[in-house]
Amino acid sequence: MIRISAGSAACMGLTTNKMDAYPTTAYFLSGNSCRMGCAFCPQGNGNNQVLNRLGRVNWPDFSWDQLKAGLFQAEKNGIGRICLQSVRHDEGVYPLLELIAKLKGISNLPISLSAWIKDQEEAATLFKAGVDRISISIDVVDPLSYRQYKGGSMEERLDLLFGCAQRFPGSMSTHLICGLGESEKQALELIDRLVKAGVSVALFAFVPLKGTALAEGSPPPVDSYRRVQAGYHLLKKKKVKSELFRFADQGRLISFGISEAELIRQLSPGTAFQTSGCPGCNRPFYNERPGGMIYNYHRDLTEKERETALEMIIKSLKQQ
């Protein structure tokens, strides 16, 4: 059996559920209970009531035969990548090697793997097994919050990520969650280091989930999230140097270091506000409820949505 996100399963023709949006990547999840105990994640050891969820998403079980038939259908429905997400298994990455071999046996789609790995040698083994990209999720930006919400050393995980980025250029991704005690300055300084190292950053907005230690927390303010998305976009496109960003007290971004006209020109297409991460990963409604405020657009923005996002940023910069 393998767990498949509800949206991916619908896109693969495995359920008849009508979804508000369909993914462009097929998301699979390996494992039921994670050795980590992240305070924001339902897969952690202490969160047994909500193990069917990762982020806001449900992950029902399917057989390999169903998956095989579904992948054929998925490619016809516009799926261009497989994302295999994994809990931290007791046996390390070995269960993943078997899964990857099976996936490679039935599909030519590129595979992104999001998993806990212990060193560069494990990354090398996984790339040799056929994965296209590996995400080492940092998740929490502020070092103190990292220790509190994930445990362990953030610097060690960053060293591994940067080491892998050097050894496997253009093949590494990471996940960062905004709204876990970091400032915009901290988020953009880390993003700048990651962009310079060639790591793709998948930005998430924190979602308080029932059954987790942070169930009573709050998502980040949307205007703050938009400023981080915009800063990431400008750094990625090399439209500005991070040294030009200016921050007020508590690390709130107050200037991108470019004129308003140039900022509007760069952000008008709306790409900055779409889901980021591996190529083709759109994660529909991973952070938000359909019909509610959208943090990461899984599709092109409408003209109205582009205007609203841009206005929010411009207005917030004037409220210094």
Closest CA to 44 of 298, 199, 214, 185: 214
State the minimum distance, in angstroms, from the CB of residue 265 to ligand SF4.
27
Q: Which is nearer to ligand SF4, 109 or 180 (CB)?
A: 109
Q: Which is nearer to ligand SF4, 201 or 267 (CB)?
A: 201
Please report, as ranges, the residues that interact with ligand SF4 according to CB under 6 A. 25, 83, 112, 114, 135, 173, 175, 202, 277-278, 281, 283
State the minimum distance, in angstroms, from the CB of residue 160 to ligand SF4.
16
State the minimum distance, in angstroms, from the CB of residue 10 to ligand SF4.
18
Q: Which is nearer to ligand SF4, 176 or 240 (CB)?
A: 176
Question: What does the buried/exposed string (b/e) look like for 226-261 if buried means 16 or more CB atoms within 10 Å of the residue's CB?
Answer: bbbbbbbbbbbeebbebeebebeeeebbbebebeee
Q: Which is nearer to ligand SF4, 29 or 310 (CB)?
A: 29
Q: Which is nearer to ligand SF4, 84 or 158 (CB)?
A: 84
State the minimum distance, in angstroms, from the CB of residue 90 to ligand SF4.
22
State the minimum distance, in angstroms, from the CB of residue 173 to ligand SF4.
5
141: left (phi over 0), alpha (psi -120 to 50) or beta: alpha
Q: Is 164 exposed, middle or buried (0-12, 13-18, 19+ CB in 10 A)?
A: buried
